[in-house]
Structure 1
Amino acid sequence: MVSSIVESVVAGLAKESYMKDGDYIGDDGMLCCGKCHTRKEREIDFLGMGKRKVAIMCRCEADALEARKERERKEEEMHSIRRARISSMMDETFQTATFDNFRKNSGNEKHLSIAQNYCKEFKKMYENNQGLLFYGTVGTGKSYTAACIANYLLEHSTSVVMTSFVRILQEMQGFDREREEAFTNRLNSVRLLIIDDLGAERSTDYALEKVYGIIDNRYRAKKPIILTTNLTLSQMQAASDIRYERIYDRVFEMCYPLEFKGISWRKREAAQRYEETKRLLEG
């Protein structure tokens, strides 16, 4: 009898701990939520000692828990995206480049379509180690289009690094072997590596060896790379220097080439700035 009294007291205290204002006992003797009117407890067989009432979540508590988990998931996703952006090495100039603010004209609609399709099919592109080569004259949108791809994938929690060989070589100056290995491993660890301005690096044996090594590492790891260059396709195909030839052979093996041509956006914007400044200063 004493045992049953103790159990009754314990059960009562437990119920008080999860019973809120407005809650009530239903016709079946179970505690119900005063808001959603669903059960807050149920009976279970307790170790062969008969049935016991245990607390459960009512519908509104379960919904609140699910909403909290979703908020936490989204917060973690945003933290992950921010961390990925910090690690992306992307120049501030390109951090706002998106497909939404891509300035379309009759000459670049194909570029936009291919870039968007690359993102849409990135899982297959990754599995097939399929990269892109954006080539053509200065200022025609190669880097901007590559940055649109980078930012889209970063927003979808895909690891991307976007940098240039010039910056890579500057970073690696003075590195000992251990630091250089850690740096190149970082470049090789991301799902997509984007390197701007192939061909702008110095033509020293050291520089070209590092350029080849980075591209070849991606090839051997079966991971895609996107490259931009101001060189023409014929210049790359006609390279007679064995140092360049092996670089470009790897590039053609890994990357789908897309030519960018037309009026330079940079020259167009410079002309617009000139005219605007002239109007303001000279009236």
Structure 2
Amino acid sequence: MREEDTVCVGSDGLQYCKACGEAKEAFFPKGDFMGMKKHSRQCACDRKAYEEEQKYFKDKEHRELVSRNTSICFDESRMEEWTFENADMSDAVMHKAKKYVDNWEKMKRNHIGCLFWGPVGTGKSYVAGCIANDLLKREVTVKMTNFNTIIDDIFPLADKTEYINALASYQLLIIDDLGVERNSEYALGIIFSVIDRRIRSGRPLIITTNLPLKEIKSETMLDKRRIYDRILEMCTPMYVGGTSKREAIASMKMEKAKTLLNANRGEEKCE
């Protein structure tokens, strides 16, 4: 659109926006400046266009940051679907997890973490994943991993301290499935170093485990005792019980498969 179609000249000699009616020029307060008597100014339309442009680039930057942090956080893309929006929020533990996220600044300031413990398949990892995804949307850096992955990653490294410090740098670190890793002296040494460094960083830690809380608290093996004591020092235990969600999903898939296979058999008979 041509400029003459959007502006007009007022009786004072200034240009005005035909759409909003505001002046697009203004006189210098002291008469002139370097030989010029007037200068450009934004009308309401210009200001709105500028705000929309700034919002577009800010939203784009936010989406790119969240996408980048999410790809770093998870080892499996399916974990990106573990959200409060997809969860049963009537569940007491899920409700507490959401409150943890909503009070994140206080949790971070007071170095408060969580220990989600309970039987296999009850959704402990899912709860932790929901926390991770919600915080990622808020531009919080999160890393969700497990000690088997950490031990495999760290084994060939000459400088193991750099890797451990990197884990400590995330605003939230989530260690999934504590207790399934190897019990060798080397593995327990790495686990202790990661946990100890995380505590000294002053940043929150979330742990999920199938180990009973009683077993964690009564562990007699010295190397494990040192690890568990530090975890209980900063992580509030939360029991995640109920029926196994994995078994329920497997049963549902089996019934679905039976239905499809029986339907296909019926179609073959009709032919």
Structure 2 length normalisation: TM-score? 0.91
Q: Cα gap change, 1:196/1:46 in structure 2, threshold over 3 Å: closer, same or farther?
A: farther
Residues 1:184 and 2:164 are matched in the alignment: yes
TM-superposed deviation, 1:276 = 2.5
Q: 2:235 aligns with which of 235, 255, 261?
A: 255
| Residue 69 (str. 1) matches residue 51 (str. 2) | no
The Cα shift of 1:79 comes to: 0.9
Q: Which amino acid aligns with 2:170?
A: V
Residues of 1 paired with 2:253 and 2:47: CA distance? 58
In the superposition, the TM-score normalised over structure 1's length comes to 0.87
Q: What is the match of residue 196 of structure 2?
A: 216
Q: Does 1:231 align with 2:211?
A: yes
Specify the SS of the correspondent of 1:174: coil
- Residues 52-101 of structure 1, C-alpha deviations (whole Å, 9 max, x = no match): 11111111011101110111111011111111112213422311111111
Corresponding residue for 1:29? Answer: 13
Who is 1:268 aligned against?
248
Match of 1:38 in 2: 22
Q: What amino acid is the match of 1:29?
A: G
**Closer, same or farther: CA 48–62 of 1 in aligned 2, 3 Å:** closer
Distance 2:34 2:245 in 1: 81
- d(CA) in 2 for partners of 1:274 and 1:115? 31
User: What CA distance in whole angstroms lies between the structure 2 residues aligned with 1:20 and 1:78?
Assistant: 38
> 3-state SS of the aligned residue for 2:85?
coil
| Residues in 2 aligned to 1:100 and 1:271: alpha-carbon distance in whole angstroms | 24
Q: Taking every aligned residue pair, what percent have the same amino acid on both sides?
A: 35
One-letter amino acid of the structure 2 residue matched with residue 135 of structure 1: W
Give the number of the structure whose alpha-carbon radius of gyration is greater: 1
Name structure 1 gaps, 5 residues minimum.
1-17
Unaligned runs of 5+ in 2: 264-271
> What RMSD in Å do the two structures reach over aligned CA positions?
1.8
- 1:1-283 superposed matches below 5 A: 19-44=3-28, 45=30, 52-103=37-88, 109-177=91-159, 180-282=160-262
C-alpha distance in 1, partners of 2:6/2:107? 57
Q: Is the 8 A contact 1:90 1:161 kept in 2?
A: no
Read off the aligned partner of 1:236 and give its amino acid letter: I
Conserved in 2, the CA contact under 8 Å of 1:91 and 1:163? no
